[in-house]
Amino acid sequence: MVVEGFPRRFSEGVIPYAFLLPAMLLIGVMLIYPTVQTINFSFADADSEVYVGLQNYIDVFQDPDFQESIFNNILWLIIVPAVTVVIGVVVAVLADNLSTNGEKISKSFIFVPMAISFVGAAAIWSLIYQYDPPGDTQTGLLNAIWVGLGNLVGASVEPVAWLSVSTFSLNDILLMVIVIWLQAGFSMILLSSAIKGVPEETIEAARIDGANEFQIFRQVVIPQIRGTMITVFITVLIMVLKIFDIVYVTTNGRDGTNVIANLFFQEIFRTGDNGIASAIVVILLIAVMPVLIYQVRHFRREETER
């Protein structure tokens, strides 16, 4: 109303910015200012009072805990997005071949974990991985099965502290299972919609040419849903780069399971070192940026091709 009170020529040029102003103010206060301030703090000491140059970044990259966290994050990036997409494709294809009621029921079961928070999922799976001393009743599902199978074959099997087994990063992989369980429904829904959108004419043409069902799926369906697969992969990839809740609730980074986001949390709240914590966040931001840029370009390219 204020802008419209100005002369018409002026108000017509200004009114778009008036509509954008509230959103830009919110973005500036909630995102841009904290980002700039964090970058500023990353060059200061633990109390954010004296500038120390690049010393925080040097200390971070020389820290064995940070190196371990980098390795774990890379492991998460390699395994979780790829497995999530594969499971989503497999479940979508299998569910689409069921009857209408069977498809609804099966997809509902797969999608239900999406309604659970990361903290809730971590608590649930902590009970599954629960360790009780030998001789006690195993309340953890995984140990109950493990010990039960041992007794079934007459072998003496000890319960395992699953989240402490760092050999071959087994405990990391068990934490990844939680995220895959949560994200499989998201992947399935998007990929199922993409598969249903594949023109039936292309599939029939492939059948007429003598292609079997596997060849049709690999050479006809997959190329046409590749854009959706990339979208799901990148979305999960970004989420995994920032993974925190699962690790914090289950292990809090012990036994070689730490990740970058949890290391930041420990630095700022346990040791109170604002400089190191800010440097870790800036490194994480730099790592996420190329993925975000690719996602935006991929989205624009898809929109152009429609």
The C-alpha angle 68, 71, 76, rounded to 5 degrees, equals 125
pLDDT at residue 306, rounded to an integer: 64
R_g over Cα of the chain: 25
Domain 47-305 has CATH 1.10.3720.10: yes
The pTM score is 0.85
Choose among 257, 226, 279, 243: nearest CA to 69. 257
Contact 102, 225 (CB under 8 A): no
Residues of the chain with pLDDT under 50: none
Contact 148, 173 (CB under 8 A): no
**Measured between alpha carbons, how far is 221 from 271 in angstroms, rounded to an integer?**
52
Contact 140, 131 (CB under 8 A): yes
Structural domain boundaries in the chain: 47-305
pLDDT at residue 289, rounded to an integer: 87
